[in-house]
Amino acid sequence: MKFLHLGDLHLGKSVNNVSMIEDQRYMLGEIIRLTRERQLDAVLLAGDLYDKNVPTEEAVALMNDFLCALAESGVCVFAISGNHDSDIRLDFASSLLTGRGVYIAGAYNGTIPHFDAEDEYGPVHFWLLPFVKASRVRYFHKDLDTSTYDAAVRSALSGAEVNTQERNVLIAHQFVTAGGQDPALSGSETRRAESVGTVEKVDASAFAQFDYTALGHIHRSQRVGSDHIRYAGSLLKYSLSEAGQDKAFPIVTLGEKGDVRVEPVTIKPLHDMRHITGRFAQLTDPANVTEPEDYMYVTLTDEEMILDALLKIRRIYPNVLKLDYNNRHTADIENFDITQTASQKSFPEIIDGFCRYVLGREPGEEEWKAINAAAKEAGILDETD
């Protein structure tokens, strides 16, 4: 039995107001090609199929095309909801889809559905645990321990009659730790907390009875305490914090009971996402320009502001997502406690001082009009100011 583990597709996502739909379409096309070349039996989708609870028409159409192409190739699909998905919407027509080899678990209804496949070594049981909150488990299992999220997930899993003498695969969308050690996080996830997003922690030991656990939710591809408990990572790089990551999706081969092999595979995206830092003259020197079509975060280290820097940079790198500065001025601003200064000065004095410090000049007449309008809308100034 050979399958591809994917998660966190986030179809329909935009990054800095730039739609990723064509990049996602390209990646899903490459995945379809991979399943045919490697003669895979199944594709596992570990939640966050869509980026929003109510996905865009483009995202739904793309998912439809993807599932149809896999079904036509004879590849089974096992999918669950993530915390970004609408579980009810994913469940729509799921009973009909099972006839085409597409198995979806959207809403948790008190049981963990499982579907069986067969190979030369016997049956493989695929268990689908959709994203679930402790309160949802408590609703169906008032007699079981749901005092913590870890306990709630274990209680939910206790209802699965797993035959440990045979091969079992679990698909789940959770924030999983290993012996108290958090997975490698990125961006806003780097804070140490009891949850990431809306998902609380569960220890990897909860999945000990499964031969492989396919996880979704964390965007970095990695193992969690064991080679057989893994995050696939997101389909694409979706933030500055992911720019330095290498995405690799696990192809898992199940031999006879106890024989589990994991092969990470990379797929070159239509556009990579990179972060470049340096002086304007260095970054725009043709000798230093590589892969200009990539999605770019640009940080300029020039001490002086470059006039129309973003426009000029985009003539070379058309897909710049964001431009900022890292110099003496920005360093001072990061260490500047504005609350003390604000308590001693009027609003116009604060704005005037800020612009003089950052821009080297006072605000112009049109800038003042825009600033005052925004301040009134925010309630900082009243209509008489």
**pLDDT per residue over 38-53, tens digit each?**
999 999 999 999 999 9
Q: What is the mean pLDDT of residues 92-111?
A: 92
Whether 324 and 358 share a structural domain: no
242 and 288 co-located in one domain = no
Q: What is the pLDDT of residue 198?
A: 45
**pLDDT per residue as tens digits for the range 227-242:** 999 999 999 999 999 9
Place of tokens 């005092």: 147
Contact 91, 104 (CB under 8 A): yes
Out of 265, 290, 322, pick the residue that ends a domain. 265
* Rounded Cα distance, 283 and 149, in Å: 48
Query: Which of 46, 6, 48 lies closest to 28 in space, CA to CA?
Result: 6
| pLDDT value for 334 | 57
Is residue 383 in a domain?
no
Question: What average pLDDT does the chain have?
Answer: 90
pLDDT in tens, 266-324: 999 999 999 999 999 999 999 999 999 999 999 999 999 899 999 999 999 999 999 99
Domain assignment of residue 198, given as a range:
2-265
Look at residue 239 and tell me if it is in a domain.
yes
Provide, rounded to the nearest whole percent, the portion of the chain with pLDDT above 70.
91
Residues 283 and 327 in one domain: yes
pLDDT of residue 384: 62
CATH number assigned to the domain comprising residue 257: 3.60.21.10
Beta-ladder partners of 328: none
Question: Could you tell me if 258 and 368 lie in one domain?
Answer: no
Tell whether 340 is covered by a domain.
no
Query: What number is the average pLDDT over the span 126-136?
Result: 94
The predicted-structure confidence for 208-228, as pLDDT tens digits, reads as follows 999 999 999 999 999 999 999
Q: Is residue 351 part of a domain?
A: yes
240 and 277 inside one domain = no
Q: Which residue stretches of the chain are H helix?
A: 21-37, 57-72, 87-91, 94-97, 134-140, 149-158, 280-283, 309-314, 328-334, 338-342, 347-359, 365-377
- For 109-118, the CB contacts below 8 A with 24+ separation are 109/140, 110/139, 110/140, 110/141, 110/159, 111/159, 112/156, 112/157, 112/159, 112/160, 114/160, 115/78, 117/1, 117/41, 117/42, 117/76
Place of tokens 């920005």: 330
- Residue 57 forms part of a structural domain: yes
Question: Structural domain tally of the chain?
Answer: 3
First-residue to last-residue Cα distance in the chain: 72
Residue 275 to residue 64: CA distance in whole angstroms:
33
Domain identity same for 106 and 195: yes
pLDDT in tens, 328-351: 877 665 555 556 556 667 888 888
Measured CA to CA in angstroms, residue 202 lies from 171, 246, 372, 381 at distances of 14, 26, 49, 47
In the predicted model, is pLDDT for residue 190 greater than 50?
Answer: no
Contact 140, 134 (CB under 8 A): no
pTM, two decimals, is 0.82
Give pLDDT, residue 333. 54
Q: State whether 88 and 197 are in the same domain.
A: yes
Q: Are residues 177 and 314 in the same domain?
A: no
Whether 209 and 78 map to the same domain: the answer is yes
The Cα–Cα gap between 260 and 121 comes to 13
Instruction: Of 259, 263, 317, 255, give the one whose Cα is nearest residue 286.
Output: 317
